[in-house]
Amino acid sequence: MNLYHYIVRLADNSHILGHRLAEWCGHGPFLEQDMAMTNIALDLIGQARSLYNLAAEVQNEGKTEDDIAFLRYEYEYQNFLLVEQPNGDFANTIVRQYFFSAYQLPYYKTLYENLQNKNDHHLTELRGILEKAIKEINYHLRWSGEWMIRLGNGTEESHQRMVNAVQNLYKYTGELFIADETDDTSLQSGFGVLLPEVKKDFDKSLFYIMERSGLTIPENETMQTGGKQGVHSEYLGYILAEMQYMQRAYPNSKW
Amino acid sequence: MEKEMPLWEVFIRSRQGLDHKHVGSLHATDAQMAIENARDVYTRRQEGVSIWVVESKYITASDPADSDQLFEPAKDKAYRHPTFYHLPEGIKHI
C-alpha cells in the first residue's frame, strides 16, 4: 500500500501544478507564452495520468486513474503547498515553476537511477514513466530559468515583481525536503530518494539562477508545511471543486 | 510590442535528410527566445527535428509589383523543363 501512496504523491504534484498552469490558457501575456504554459500543463497532466494509472494498478481494487483524480477528498491529496498556490502574475507563475522543476528534476533522476535493476514490474513501469518525464522537466527548468533571468534583469517593474514572487513562494519550498513515513518506507524498500541530496541539487540550481537574475534567496524564512500530510492551504479546495464538479454531479459520466 | 519583440520567421526540418521549410512567424525578444517559442508554437505535433529562426527584417523580399518582369518571361519557355530531354538508354543514377 505504501507504493500506492508514494506514486500518488508524485502524481498529485504534477496534477495540481498542471491544473494551475492550464488556468493560463487564453490568458497568457502573449500567444507564444500562452502556448508554452499550456504545453507544460499538458506535460504535467500527462505525467499525472500515467502515474495515477500505475497507482490504480498497484492498488488493485478495480479503480481507474479517474477515480483517483476525481473522487478523492482534499485531505487525501498529498501535493506540496507550493504547487497549489495561485498563479498570481506571470512572475509568480515563473518562480513557482522554477522552484518545482528544480526539485522535480534531481528527484526524478535519482529515483530513475535507484529503480535500475529492480525486478518488480510496477517499479519497472514507474521507471519508464520517469524516463519520459525527465526529458520534459529538463525543458520546464530551462524555460522557467530563462524567464527568471529575463524578468529579474528586465525593467524595474519586472524585477520588483520577481522579488515579490520569490518572497511569496520561497516559504513553500521547505516541505519538499522534509521526509515523512512514505519517504522513509520507500528508502527501506531500497529505491527511495534521499531528500537532503535533492536539496543540495535544488540549492545549486537556485543559487545559479538567482545570481544571474539579480535576485536573492530570502534568509531566515519560516517554512510552511502540511501539503504532504494532506493539510492544505485554502486554495486546494477551490481547485478540487472546479476539477471534480462534473464527476461528482454526474457520477461515471464520460465524454 | 513590435519594438521590444520583433517578428521572426521560423523554418522547420521535419525529418533528417529533408530541408528546412518556412512554417510561419512569431514574436520574440532575441534568437534564443525565438527558438524556444518556435518549439512551443510549431513543433507540438512532432512536426520537426530542427528549427531555424531569422529575424524577419533580415529577409529581403521581391516586390509584388515587379512580378511581371521577374516571373512572366518564364511562362512561355516550357522547354526549360528537363522532361524535354531524351536520356540515352543505359544511363543510371539520374
| Structural domain A2-218+225-249, CATH architecture | Up-down Bundle (1.20)
Which candidate, A73, A74, A92, A72, places its Cα nearest to that of A82? A92
Low-confidence ranges of chain A (pLDDT < 50): none
pLDDT tens per residue, range B49-68: 999 999 999 999 999 999 88
How far is B17 from chain A, CA to nearest CA, in Å?
A: 24
Under a CB-based contact definition with an 8 Å cutoff, are residues A113 and A191 in contact? no
Cβ contact, residue pair A30, B41, below 8 Å: no
Question: Which one of B26, B27, B36 has the shortest CB-CB distance to A143?
Answer: B36
The Cα B87–Cα B94 span in angstroms is 9
- B23 and B11 Cβ atoms separated by less than 8 Å: yes
The cell numbers describing A200, all together, are: 543540495
Report how far residue A108's alpha carbon sits from residue A14's, in angstroms, rounded to the nearest whole number.
12
- Asked if the model's pLDDT at residue B31 lies above 90, the reply is yes
Second-level CATH architecture of B7-84: Roll (3.10)
Per-domain boundaries in chain A: 2-218+225-249
Q: Where are the alpha helices (DSSP H) in chain B?
A: 31-42, 67-71
pLDDT at A1: 57
Q: Which residue has the cell 529515483?
A: A111
Q: Where are the domains of chain B?
A: 7-84
Q: What are phi and psi of B21, to 5 degrees?
A: -120, 145
Q: How confident is the model at residue B1 (pLDDT cuts 50, 70, 90)?
A: low
Residue A254 confidence (pLDDT): 79
**B94 has pLDDT over 70:** no
ipTM of the shown complex: 0.74
Grid coordinates standing for A123?
A: 517499479
Q: Which pLDDT band, with edges at 50, 70 and 90, does B42 fall under?
A: very high
Name the residue facing B37 among A32, A142, A150 (closest C-beta).
A32
C-alpha cell at A29: 501575456
